Amino acid sequence: MQLLKLRNLCCCFIAFCLLLCGSYLHAADVKNVRIWLAPDHARLVFDMTGPASHKVFTLSGPDRIVLDVNKASISADLTKVGLDKSPVQRIRSGKNGDTLRLVLDLKRAVRPKSFELKPNQKYGHRLVLDLYEKEKVKKPVKSALPKPVAGRDIIVAIDAGHGGEDPGAIGPGRVREKVVVFAIAKELKRLLDRTPGYKGQLTRTGDYYISLRGRTKAARKQNADLFVSIHADGFKDKRARGASVWVLSSRGASSEMGRWLARKENSADLIGGVGSVSLEDKDDVLASVLLDMSMTASREDSRSVAKQIHSNIRRFAKMHKPHVEQAGFAVLKSPDIPSILVETGFITNPGEAAKLKTKSYQKKMANAIYQGITQHFSRKPPALTYIAQRKAENNKTHKVVSGDTLSVIASRNGVSLSALRKANNLKSDRIKVGQVLRIPKS
């Protein structure tokens, strides 16, 4: 009997060792593969059951990318990955000893970049492979410096938060922040584009990820006059509610909520790369002065726009605070572009989530932001823009001198006599020397 028990114990031990050995040989399983398409790259995300080291290399003739994952297996169905609009023709898998080999047959040559991500609140272990389109080498063209174009549009960079692999906050019914804010961003662009003198530019035009610094870099590339980042964040307490408008604080966050939100948003930048403003050709003193002047001017304009938008939103929504708030959001740190961040509400609050997912409320929120932007720029339009020209024409005046008559002034300025009377509330053609007349637009 004791011999039988010992034999059973040995068998169990051997089985355990084999199981342990097997789990060691295949420490991680690729259980799912997702793809996100951006204008300049495609992102493949391999969901893993555990951590796994890897290496990646390229082959030519034909173009391929090989991804070797150590001590891994795969249970995902690679035929179900949507590759239609990606640079990948198909994905194959095989074994090279205890290494899982994934081969990407390419439609065209791309530049791969890979990294591993640890689990977070939304996902487990992940292996990310970014495939960047190779930039075409352009021949340098000798030309004069570009001159500012008179009558240009005011460019507003509209940044829909999160995207792709990063869904943002998730509310009741699985409503996702990235979806809600993208809808608001598109509506804001529509409103701006239909307004003479304005043009909206989306930092992302679809469901894909952009790093936080990449968003401000995109705004600078678009020569934006204003950067508006739109969010619908969440909080650990579902009772938290209220919309808010944020600007950058040089001293850090103005409240504990601001610090929590700033840490949460900025942590997303661990996924991607960063960009920066270059002052390399300036000495330390000049660079410091230029940066301080630029940031002072942009922060003043940021506060002006933010106050107007805050005032507009509070007409129909509860505000988290009665004033514009300040925090160290990374997307607000561009020194040369006035930047604001709008939290349209807490998507983790059931009541606000129900509103935010409706088209009517999204349009109402977009219109409040739109009105704030146009109200600000009607008062302070950038130089050489169409809005600035219109304002200058509308503010044109004439000081009456000896010998002037109302009809002569009208003729000289290309306006009708009746329009000149109406613009100055004149009941007759009598004018006085020294009188300042407003000249209407011809």
Ranges 66-70, 167-171, 186-190, 210-214: which has the least confidence: 210-214
- Cβ burial 388-405 (10 Å sphere, 16+ → b, else e): bbbbeeeeeebebeeebe
pTM, to two decimals:
0.76
Residue 78: Cβ within 10 Å count: 14
**Mean pLDDT value of segment 258-286:** 47
Query: Residue range 385-413: average pLDDT?
Result: 89
Q: With 50 as the cut, is the pLDDT of residue 104 above it?
A: yes
Mean pLDDT of the chain, nearest integer: 84
Q: How do the domains of the chain map onto residue ranges?
A: 22-133, 154-275+291-379, 396-438
Whether the per-residue pLDDT at 109 is higher than 50: the answer is: yes
Range 396-438: architecture per CATH: Roll (3.10)
Region at 223 (left for phi over 0; alpha for psi -120 to 50; beta for the rest)? left
CATH of domain 22-133: 2.60.40.3500
Q: Is the omega angle on the peptide bond into residue 62 within 30 degrees of 0, that is, cis?
A: yes
Ramachandran region of residue 140, left (φ > 0), alpha (ψ -120 to 50) or beta? Answer: beta
Please tell me the predicted confidence (pLDDT) of residue 212: 87
> In the CATH scheme, what is the code of domain 154-275+291-379?
3.40.630.40
Higher model confidence: residue 328 or residue 218? Answer: 218
Lowest model confidence (mean pLDDT) among 99-108, 114-123, 170-179: 114-123
